[in-house]
């Protein structure tokens, strides 16, 4: 083997090991939330999250949006990393309001505003589960949950969730649902592969 070829091969091995290391430090936590037969509509919009991960996590560069459209808050539930500012957008032709009676979120009332306008609120208390209401439309309701880290997921309509790229370690995984009992399980994320995890939530 000539010298050039040797160098090329060792460089390829070097690149390959870097690629493998990037994947070896984290894994996905994947599973399903199920409920009692008469509560299946609550499988969706369950927040599954890692309670505590070492480190400090910054809020996302772009503020997550809570929309008011067709007389509904969209999304129904919004998990955010502590310190996140949420944009409240009115997409309807009517005036909407946003307020919360919950102390952990500062009992704010942002007033009322028209279509296309955005007002904001910063969520800075980890563990705060607060409701959002509109004083113009009493049926409107949504929830914002403030978490320590960005390793969270909202279940789809069938209760499926995947929390991606969780650093290797031992964690408590918690679930939050607006109508069902909170639950938790311990998991170990290893350097290889996925962790399977299922929850059966009770009223």
Which of 26, 104, 126, 136 is in the footprint of Cu ion by CB under 5 A? 136
Tokens standing for residue 57: 């996590």
Q: Are 81 and 147 in contact (CB under 8 A)?
A: yes
Burial 126-138 (b: 16+ CB within 10 A, else e): eebbbebbbeebe
Task: Answer yes or no whether residue 137 interacts with Cu ion by CB under 5 A.
Answer: yes
Q: Which is nearer to Cu ion, 52 or 119 (CB)?
A: 119
Nearest to 90 by CA among 122, 106, 112: 112
Q: Nearest approach, Cβ of 135 to Cu ion (angstroms)?
A: 8
Which of 134, 144, 153, 187 is in the footprint of Cu ion by CB under 5 A? 134
**Interacting stretch for Cu ion, rule CB under 5 A, among 82-90, 100-108, 140-148, 192-200?**
140-148
Q: Which is nearer to Cu ion, 24 or 94 (CB)?
A: 94
- Residue 108 to residue 101: CA distance in whole angstroms: 7
Q: Nearest approach, Cβ of 94 to Cu ion (angstroms)?
A: 7
Preceding peptide of 189 cis, ω within 30°: no
Pairing between β-strand 195-201 and β-strand 72-74 as defined by DSSP bridges: unpaired
Instruction: Mark 37-76 with x for binding to Cu ion (rule: CB under 5 A) and - for no binding.
Output: ----------------------------------------
3-state DSSP assignment of residue 173: strand
Which of 35, 47, 90, 96 is in the footprint of Cu ion by CB under 5 A? 96
Measured from the Cβ of residue 140, the count of other Cβ atoms closer than 10 Å reads 17
**Interacting stretch for Cu ion, rule CB under 5 A, among 81-89, 128-136, 158-166, 172-180?**
128-136
Residues near Cu ion (CB under 5 A):
96, 134, 136-137, 140
């Amino acid at each position: 083997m000539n010298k050039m070829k040797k160098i090329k091969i060792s460089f390829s091995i070097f690149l390959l090991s870097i690629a493998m290391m990037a994947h070896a430090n984290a894994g996905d936590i994947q599973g399903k939330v199920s409920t009692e037969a008469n509560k299946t509509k609550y499988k969706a919009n369950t927040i599954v999250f890692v309670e505590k991960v070492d480190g400090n996590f910054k809020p996302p560069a772009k503020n997550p949006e809570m929309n008011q459209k067709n007389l509904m808050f969209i999304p129904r539930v919004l998990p955010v990393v502590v310190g996140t500012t949420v944009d409240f957008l009115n997409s309807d032709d009517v005036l909407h309001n946003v307020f919360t009676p919950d102390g952990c979120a500062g009992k704010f009332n942002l007033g009322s505003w028209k279509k296309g306008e955005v007002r904001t609120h910063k969520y800075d208390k980890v563990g705060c589960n607060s409701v959002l209401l509109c004083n113009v439309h009493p049926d409107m309701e949504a929830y914002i949950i403030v978490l320590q880290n960005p390793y969270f997921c909202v279940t789809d309509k069938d209760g499926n969730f995947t929390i991606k790229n969780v650093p290797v370690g031992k964690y408590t995984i918690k679930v939050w649902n607006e109508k069902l009992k909170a639950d938790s399980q311990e998991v170990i994320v290893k350097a290889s592969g996925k962790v399977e995890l299922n929850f059966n939530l009770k009223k």
